[in-house]
């Protein structure tokens, strides 16, 4: 399928995004198109599969659900203006957990997930470390993990009472990371994530 020739200096909405029928994956950051990198590395996919499996096993009898890319998360500016033409931010996190199931529909998630994990791409680390960090903080994602596959470590950020991310830990080796939104009931063992 032919690639669309989009103006990367123009602002678009989710309504526009829905009309783009080609093979490219994109995200919208405040209305601006961000092209996704080519297919992730094998190591990225191994880490993603492990994390999704671990989360799914913990959540399968709970009122939360886990999803993985590609799946759209639409982040409206306000909770009341959720029309497609008023949404300027659409992301496809590597992994996300939603505990307010009313946010889920056939097109993905409308509103901030409770927990997002991004696995840093060597092609564009700034996107996960800075750009998405700011987007997730602004929209109230309660917990954000940045996984570095090359260094095999995880940085964990939790939204504080002022709506800003606070680094609560950096983990590596055989650490067991508590998922903060579950108040210590759920820990992820990194030996099951970074598999040699």
Three-state SS for the chain is CCCCCCCCCCCCCHHHHCCCCCCCCEEEECCEEEECCCCCCHHHHHHHHHHHHHHHHHHCCCCCEEEECCCCEECCCCCCCCCHHHCCCEECCCEEEECCHHHEECCEEECCCCEEEEECCCCCHHHHHHHHHHHHHHHCCCEEEEEECCCCEEEEEEECCCCCEEEEEEEECCCEEECHHHCCCCEEEHHHCCCC
pLDDT for the residue numbered 40 = 85
∠ CA 146-151-152, rounded to 5°: 65
Domain span at 45: 14-192
CB atoms near residue 185 (< 10 Å): 10
Q: What is the pLDDT of residue 196?
A: 78
Q: What is the model's pLDDT at position 80?
A: 86
Residue 184 lies in a domain: yes
Q: What is the pLDDT of residue 6?
A: 85
Q: Is residue 3 part of a domain?
A: no
Domain-located, residue 165 = yes
Query: Cα(73)–Cα(171) distance, rounded to whole angstroms?
Result: 27
Q: What is the CATH number of the domain that holds 27?
A: 3.90.1570.10
Residue 140 forms part of a structural domain: yes
Residue 2 lies in a domain: no
Cα atoms found within 13 Å of the Cα of residue 163, Cβ hemisphere only: 5
pLDDT of residue 27: 94
Instruction: For the chain of 196 residues, list the mean pLDDT of each consecutive stretch of 10.
Output: 76 95 88 85 95 97 95 93 94 97 97 97 85 97 97 97 97 97 94 92
Q: What six digits make up the tokens of 129?
A: 């470390």
Contact indicator for 48, 40 with CB cutoff of 8 Å: yes
Structural domains of the chain, count = 1
Residue 97 β-bridge partners: 66, 115
Asked whether residue 114 is domain-assigned, the answer is yes
pTM: 0.94
Whole-angstrom distance, CA of residue 196 vs CA of residue 102 = 39
Q: Which two tokens stand for residue 64?
A: 């939360």
Flag whether 4 is in a domain.
no
pLDDT of residue 2: 56
Give a yes or no: residue 1 inside a domain. Answer: no
């Amino acid at each position: 399928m032919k690639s669309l020739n989009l103006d990367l200096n123009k602002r678009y909405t989710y309504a526009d995004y829905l009309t783009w029928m080609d093979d490219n994956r994109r995200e919208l950051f405040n209305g601006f198109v961000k092209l996704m990198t080519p297919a992730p590395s094998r190591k990225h996919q191994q880490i993603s599969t492990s994390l999704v499996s671990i989360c799914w096993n913990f959540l399968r009898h709970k009122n939360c659900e886990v999803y993985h890319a590609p799946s759209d998360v639409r982040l409206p500016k306000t909770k009341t203006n959720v029309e497609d033409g008023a949404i300027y931010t659409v992301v496809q996190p590597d992994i996300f957990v939603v505990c307010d199931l009313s946010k889920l529909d056939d097109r993905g998630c409308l509103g901030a997930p409770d927990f997002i994990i991004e696995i840093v791409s060597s092609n564009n680390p700034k996107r996960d470390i800075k750009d998405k960090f700011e987007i997730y903080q602004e929209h109230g994602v309660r917990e954000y993990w940045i996984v570095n596959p090359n260094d095999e470590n995880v940085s964990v950020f939790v939204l504080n009472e002022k709506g800003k991310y606070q680094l609560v830990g950096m983990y590596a080796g055989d650490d067991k990371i508590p998922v903060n939104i579950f108040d210590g009931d759920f820990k992820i063992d990194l030996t099951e994530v970074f598999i040699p």
